[in-house]
Amino acid sequence: MKFNKIYVELTNICGLACSFCPSQKPPTSTMSLKTFEDVLIQIKPYTKIITYHMFGDPLTLSNLKEYLDLTLKYNIQVELVTTGYYLNKFDLNLFLHPAIRQINFSLNSFNKNDMNMTLDQYLEPMFKICDLKLKNKIHNFVNFRLWNLNPKKKSYKFNTEVIQKIENKFNLYLDIENQESIRLENQIKLHFDNYFQWPSLESTNNTNGTCYGLKSHFGILSSGDVVPCCLDSNGYIKLGNIHESSLDKILNSKRSVDIINGFKDNKAIEELCKKCTFKHRFNEDISIY
């Protein structure tokens, strides 16, 4: 059993309150370095790539370098997903760390919060990281994400401002019509996507379908709870806990196997999976219960 990546949530603390994110219900928690190292040992046979993210922002952790050093020790690569809000807490050279495969900046968090900085101040450290990457010929990826598209174009003004500043920075004219990804520089891209709805047990959706949960990925929350999907930030589908059972045992449990087999048959077994609309992206035919 191999996975493209495993989501290892270092912390569920974000510090922002974006309207497109779910309200966090579990108590705030941070995975200790000791637990994190144990996780790395257990996941090494399963993947070469992890993401420090489920709900929280890993950059809220002042000792982020210690987590990166441990990741490198076990020859695993990491993808950082961050709002970018906390970048100025760090020496930006940290983001050239050899464990980092990719950095994703979620730009739409800026206009969904009352930030105590201007857009220029917000983007400046991200642009500096790009400069450092290019100057030092670091082979990692930097992605600017605008995942806020919708038919009503409610973020049109903000997106236009961001795109203009990116154009000025990289001395480009960006034709964004019908584009999903635009190359800005070597291994630096601007990505577009639609808003998605986080799954909720309160949703009226009730559909079958398939999903990549437990196929391409799964998640380990900062509490140690193992979940089948990167969107189950509240741990509704708790397959087990790494403090109580081995990862191998959790992934081969009856509940995990039932989920996997269900998706193979285009069936959502778990209640949260039935409620989830994100799986519609993977299904041409949607059957209604």
Residues 6+ apart with CB under 8 A from 114: none
Give the pLDDT confidence of 244-270 residue by residue, as tens digits. Answer: 999 999 999 999 999 999 999 999 999
Using only C-alpha atoms, the chain has a radius of gyration, in whole angstroms, of: 19
Q: Output phi, psi for 181, to 5 deg.
A: -150, 135
Q: What is the DSSP letter of 76?
A: -
pLDDT given at position 286: 34
Contact between 127 and 101 under an 8 Å Cβ cutoff? The reply is no
Write out pLDDT tens, residues 41-96.
999 999 999 999 898 999 999 999 999 999 999 999 999 999 999 999 999 999 99
